[in-house]
Amino acid sequence: MPRNQIKTTLQEIKDEIAGISDSEKKTELESLEKKLDVVMAQMDATEDSSLKELFNDIEDSVSELEVSHPRITSALNQVMSLLSSLGI
């Protein structure tokens, strides 16, 4: 089930963020983590169109972290692929 895979991947991203000590990017990472919390909380109760808006916001944040945190970027790309398979 893609939604379960998305939730699992989002949790992995949160775990990765928690392990980063780069103070320069800490504010951006904390902002991304808050966005992930919102998505995870709304994952089951939110319609696909609303999820798409939330993920667009997250995708913008990830673009800024692409070079400094490639593992987070890779995991979010996986989430975007799963969303695409759901038609979102």
**48 pLDDT tier (thresholds 50, 70, 90):** low
Q: Report, as an integer, the average pLDDT of 23-51.
A: 74
Is residue 3 domain-resident? Answer: no
Domain count, the chain: 1
Domain that holds residue 71: 33-88
Question: Does the structure show a pLDDT above 60 at 1?
Answer: no
Q: How many CB atoms lie within 10 A of CB 17?
A: 19
User: 0.85 exceeded by the pTM?
Assistant: no
Judge whether 12 lies within some domain: no
Residue 26 domain flag: no
- Helices and strands, counts by H and E, the chain: 4, 0
Q: What confidence tens digit (pLDDT) does each residue in 71-86 have?
A: 888 888 887 787 777 7
Is 83 within a domain? yes
Cβ burial of 75 (10 Å; 0-12, 13-18, 19+) is: buried
Closest CA relative to residue 76, chosen from 13, 33, 34, 14: 13
Residue 5: is its pLDDT beyond 70? yes
